[in-house]
Structure 1
Amino acid sequence: MAEIQLRNVSKRWGSFVGVANFDLTIADEEFLVLLGPSGCGKTTTMRMIAGLEEATEGEIVIDGRVVNDLDPKDRDIAMVFQSYGLYPNMNVYENIRFPLKVRKVPEAEHETRVMKAAAMVELEPFLHRKPAELSGGQRQRVALARAIVREPNVFLMDEPLSNLDAKLRVSTRAQIKNLSHELKVTTIYVTHDQIEAMTLADRVVIMKQGVVQQVGTPVDIYDNPANTFVAGFIGSPAMNLMDGDLKDGTFTGQNVTIQGLSGPNGAVTLGFRAEDAAIADGPAEIEAKVYTMELLGDATMITVRAGGALVSVKAHKEYRAEIGDTVRLSVPAEICHLFDSQDGRRIGAA
């Protein structure tokens, strides 16, 4: 088990900055997710921890030891990649066993450790098969078992579910969550999928262009986004964001008037979650025409154009409206967030 410290870690290639001043302590047994769009620096950060990339500046400390100059094999880390990286000529048993042979673990321990790892990911019936005889989900479970059998101090997982179809992603995600609970090993997980981040993480680090935007629990980040980038990245759908003006507590924008807000007068961006608003029968804060309607099964999503943006609200599952119908949306002041229109920071954030 291990605590990981990243002390002002940066990575540059010439004038290009891949990661800038990443400073964070990851607790022993914590499941930390690095989240952001492609090119934000999350995989580069993971590769520096693994030793596959050299940090330009800063220190990486694992279990109290600075590891910047250690080879990847000496950092006691196991990695699971997007590509399964299995040996096609070996069956499942031998693929799982391979790290034990490389690390010269006594052969008497191999059988017990391989079977234990295989049981954790429900692979016992497939140990005799070659990778070509497995489904994508089964291959990813072999990759997980191969990491588990190492019994490392740290797991690093780089988009391990990206190659799976939607149904397999859900089931494998649940398996990873359960494994994290059972193994209690410090885990760093890279993804661009905010649903994976929200469901798996103890804490989430959201990155943009190499810079950390916010660190917090999934609930903290969802309820109190630090800026408009985070607000627009987290949530399905993302937070509604509308530009307008705030004067004496009243926000006004195209088709929008919301009273009872607290903030400085001037141009602002207002945000609220689709599930916090509601369809209104009478006068309401937003009145606009339906842009689209989507049936979600457990709810109906109504989208209108207001405040110069597309704005969504979740209605009950029986609600129906036609494109072009005028609807009213109730948006109470207490569900709203205000952001600076220039730098995007949340107004009133500590």
Structure 2
Amino acid sequence: MAEIQLRNLQKRWGDFVGVEGFDLTIADREFLVLLGPSGCGKTTTMRMIAGLEEVSGGEIRIGDRVVNDLEPKDRDVSMVFQSYALYPNMTVYENIRFPLKVRGVDPASHDEKVMRAADMVELREFLHRRPAELSGGQRQRVALARAIVRQPNVFLMDEPLSNLDAKLRVSTRAQIKNLTHDLKVTTIYVTHDQIEAMTLADRVVVMRKGKVQQVGTPTEIYDRPANAFVASFIGSPAMNLIDGQVAEGTFTADGTAISGLDLPDGPLTLGFRAEDARLAEFATQAEITAPIYTIELLGDAVMISVRIGGALVSVKADKSFRAEIGTPVSIHVPARICHPFDADTGERV
């Protein structure tokens, strides 16, 4: 049983607060992603769970043990780092085997365990090589095999794909998803890449400036962001956010009038996703009318952007759509697809 409980977790360096009031229970075998921009506290949180960073306050419980004062080696966790952290003078076989030697596992079982781990990440034919002879993707797989080999209670993965090119990220991401499904081990994964978070996670924790902004399944966070920050961070492209005013159920901004909103009068930030809106055939059907600012061919669709006040607003059109920059377009944005946020706090209304 490897349920993890974090209770009022804190990390400070003098007056600087790195993580504040982090409360969460991570279920046994859950794949949890800590997501946020650089400096938000996600890696610090993981390092405190691993024992690589001292806790300033709060409690960490793994299974039935409080581990605040335990050394990293006594917490039964395995880490996969962004930098791979392989031993250059050892072969792939010896790199994978190393955790078994350090922990005093019966040498008679080493070969079987190493081969099993190597097969899971498709490395058997590379076992005789040294890290310098491998590609970046192969080195990352060695790091995964080394974490797998001793069958820990918890996997901790700190941005393991950020050094890989786009194609390798996709294939290695799929491999991690498949591995964690087969191994059924509680996994905490740190990333700033929202696509990784959405595709890998059972639940996502969105962080900002050391604080948790929202916890939920990828679908919950995508469909109902708790505040404007989460809305702007999740999605590709991010949610459109327009600052304006509501009066008698109608939201207005430059070139924009969206009616049928059940909201109080006053300033408001209104959001909607590019794929939920559509181009209107006639201007009379449109809530937004503005000239095209940019147009991008995506292959399966065309992304059109217009400028509303200080914001760029995007909408997806059919892949056959063609127009020049500066051409006026009409966009249909029904009230039912809109997400209202407080203009001052950013919280969902």
Band the TM-score falls in, shorter-chain normalisation: over 0.9
- Report whether the alignment pairs 1:27 with 2:27: yes
Partner of 1:339: 341
- Taking only aligned residues, the RMSD between alpha carbons, in angstroms, comes to 0.6
Structure 2 CA distance, aligned partners of 1:178 and 1:68? 31
Partner of 1:176: 176
SS in 1 for 2:316: strand
In structure 1, distance between residues paired with 2:247 and 2:214: 29
Q: In structure 1, what is the equivalent of residue 137 of structure 2?
A: 137
Deviations 1:247-302 (A, max 9, x none): 12110000000011111110000000000000111120000000000000010000
Q: How does 1:119-268 map to 2 (within 5 A)?
A: 119-268=119-268
* 1:62 counterpart residue number: 62
Shift of 1:150: 1.4
2:231 corresponds to which letter in structure 1? A
CA contact (8 A) 1:254 1:308 kept: no
Q: What is the distance in 2 between the residues matched to 1:30 and 1:264?
A: 40
State the partner residue of 2:312: 310
Contact residue 232 and residue 239 of structure 1 kept, 8 A:
yes
SS of match in other structure, 1:48:
helix
Provide the secondary structure at the position in 2 that maps to 1:213: strand
- Give the CA deviation at 1:116: 0.5
CA contact (8 A) 1:3 1:27 kept: yes
Percent of residue pairs bearing the same amino acid type:
76
**TM-score, normalising length: structure 2:** 0.99
- After the TM superposition, list the runs of 4 or more consecutive aligned residues in structure 1 that deviate by more than 4 angstroms: none
Q: How many residues align?
A: 347
Distance 1:158 1:246 in 2: 43
Note if contact 1:244-1:307 (Cα within 8 Å) is conserved in structure 2.
no
| Distance in 2, Cα, partners of 1:162 & 1:150 | 25
**Partner of 1:109: helix, strand, or coil?**
helix
Q: Distance in 1 between matches of 2:193 and 2:133?
A: 28
Match of residue 300 from structure 1: 302
Distance across 2 between alignment mates of 1:248 and 1:180:
51
Cα deviation, residue 308, structure 1: 3.3
TM-score, normalised to structure 1, is 0.98
Aligned positions of 1:52-131 closer than 5 A: 52-131=52-131
Amino acid at match of 2:329: V
1:124 partner amino acid: R
**Structure 1 counterpart of 2:173, one-letter code:** R
Q: Which moved more, 1:301-310 or 1:267-276?
A: 301-310
Q: Name structure 2 gaps, 5 residues minimum.
A: none
The more displaced of 303-312 and 59-68 is: 303-312
Counterpart for residue 11 of structure 1: 11
| Separation in 2, partners of 1:17, 1:68 | 19
Unaligned runs of 5+ in 1: none
Once the two structures are TM-superposed, the CA of residue 342 in structure 1 deviates from its matched residue by 0.4
Q: Deviations over 1:163-198 (max 9, x none)?
A: 000000000000000001000000000000000000
CA contact (8 A) 1:88 1:131 kept: yes
Q: Secondary structure at the match of 1:101?
A: helix
Amino acid corresponding to residue 169 of structure 2 in structure 1: R
CA deviations on 1:46-77 (whole Å, 9 max, x unpaired) are: 00000011111100000011000000000000
What is the distance in 2 between the residues matched to 1:19 and 1:93?
38
